Structure 1
């Protein structure tokens, strides 16, 4: 299996599908998942002539269960190392949730001249936590409760969280138990310290300057019934900060990508990649 070893000795696992000479698309996953969360979209990309790459963020999936470096600056640096190692150019970035923050920070700090387009889906930018400068944000107590849930009974917490993640607590949901089980399975593969520490990374990192620095087309996609990352404090704010952005809102769609939402999103992603 392919791994990249970073300067601090962390092994980053990645998958590399499709045409090795095709335009590369890098997929960055959400918390607490792994690159496997993007399998459907990776196949879509590979089937359409692209080179599809998805890594497991440090501390997640098959990558080293790191004790340190579970922060957005390090995540972006790890992604930069992967790009350098594979010698990638003309890159399309796709990030869901925490991964949306990762690709935005990477693009702003390392991507000039390498990144062609960016798509974020239910992404955490600009900043989630409530503060004096972000009064519409989510109270810190919500993120404290996530950390408490992880510490008390991570397995049951992930099983319960999958309902909000996929919106199965809403009338008419068609998300299967298998998809909820997959969320639990991928979450339980992640390292304990990374799962806990990444909550601070995705909730308290301010990506406002990163969004403003982007100089390539950006697709910002999100469901308007996202119970994990509220759209009013995410996509609706992010679109105001980017220079060349397109906003796609999916009525009634949850945070997790599945079912009819996934089919609609994938159609829009493919059109964006090919444009």
Structure 2
């Protein structure tokens, strides 16, 4: 395993971030979804490296083999971790690929640091721009549903994660494209994450409003979403992101669930590689 150490003197803590670095060529940084780790990218890592890209996948703080601190799971702290990774590996012309919650790190990073080291962005099944329902976001998730998720994580986390994984893949409709073994694998990854980190990052993706930050995404951006996503419905997320990001290619994958990086991996990889080559 390889690690970078965040340099966060102001907050008085340094956090070690685990990352995997494969291949050569233009760097593509994979930012995993909640509540998984870099291991979710198995099929994409292989495709990217085989296609001639340098693929870097890391574990968000609190997840996988990265440190599990008690504090600082807000998006600005997560974007600082990403900046530390990019600077310490001395990366330029990066492509940032964010899945689900990871889309927030992409947008917050570009808002905080600009695109001096980034040439493209990819949002897959992303929560961007706003999850919570409000008068000006009527298709979002009601606050009581979000509070129910947080309460379940506090009181019955491992059971909640088992049921969550089924919705992740629309399992009953995709048994030929996913498996019980995949559900158990994901559950193991998610259950071993920091309980505190799992809850605090859920609050971050549930309650952060990125709508004003979409203007800060000035690099060409690929937006991909499945029209059968039960975790992050397409209408208040990628549909709105495509309206707010000035230079984007918007791809809707028919019948794909949230976890389409597994169930529809060939389509996801094909669109991703086509975008990178353009």
Say yes or no: TM over 0.5.
yes
Structure 2 partner of 1:110: 113
Structure 1 residue aligned with 2:63, among 50, 60, 65?
60
Larger displacement relative to structure 2 (254-263 or 175-184): 254-263
Retained in 1: the 8 A contact 2:261–2:268? Answer: no
1:104, distance to aligned residue in structure 2 (A): 1.7
Structure 2 residue aligned with 1:177, among 175, 180, 196?
180
Structure 2 residue aligned with 1:196, among 178, 196, 199?
199
C-alpha distance in 2 between matches for 1:123 and 1:145: 21
Larger displacement relative to structure 2 (200-209 or 235-244): 200-209
Retained in 1: the 8 A contact 2:230–2:258? Answer: yes
Offset from partner CA, 1:15-69 (integer Å, 9 cap, x none): 10111xx110000000011111112111211111111001100111111111111
1:9, distance to aligned residue in structure 2 (A): 1.2
Structure 2 partner of 1:11: 16
1:166, distance to aligned residue in structure 2 (A): 0.5
Retained in 1: the 8 A contact 2:98–2:123? Answer: yes
User: 2:67 aligns to what SS in structure 1?
Assistant: coil
User: 2:57 aligns to what SS in structure 1?
Assistant: strand
Offset from partner CA, 1:166-213 (integer Å, 9 cap, x none): 001337653111111121011012101110111110111111222211
User: 1:64 aligns to what SS in structure 2?
Assistant: coil
User: 1:231 aligns to what SS in structure 2?
Assistant: coil
C-alpha distance in 2 between matches for 1:64 and 1:54: 16
1:135, distance to aligned residue in structure 2 (A): 2.2
C-alpha distance in 2 between matches for 1:35 and 1:116: 22
Q: State the superposition RMSD in angstroms.
A: 1.4
Structure 1 residue aligned with 2:123, among 115, 120, 125?
120
TM-score (norm 1): 0.95
Structure 1 partner of 2:277: 274
Does residue 2 of the first structure (1) align with residue 12 of the second (2)?
no
TM-score (norm 2): 0.94
Structure 2 partner of 1:42: 45
User: 2:80 aligns to what SS in structure 1?
Assistant: helix
Runs of 5+ unmatched residues, structure 1: none
C-alpha distance in 2 between matches for 1:170 and 1:129: 27
When residues 256 and 72 of structure 1 are mapped into structure 2, their CA distance, relative to the original with a 3 A threshold, is same
Larger displacement relative to structure 2 (56-65 or 154-163): 154-163
C-alpha distance in 1 between matches for 2:127 and 2:253: 17
C-alpha distance in 2 between matches for 1:260 and 1:157: 22
Retained in 1: the 8 A contact 2:6–2:15? Answer: yes
C-alpha distance in 2 between matches for 1:200 and 1:65: 16
Structure 2 partner of 1:255: 258
User: 1:33 aligns to what SS in structure 2?
Assistant: coil
Structure 2 partner of 1:162: 165
User: 2:182 aligns to what SS in structure 1?
Assistant: helix
User: How many residues in Structure 1 have an aligned counterpart in Structure 2?
Assistant: 273
Retained in 2: the 8 A contact 1:227–1:254? Answer: yes
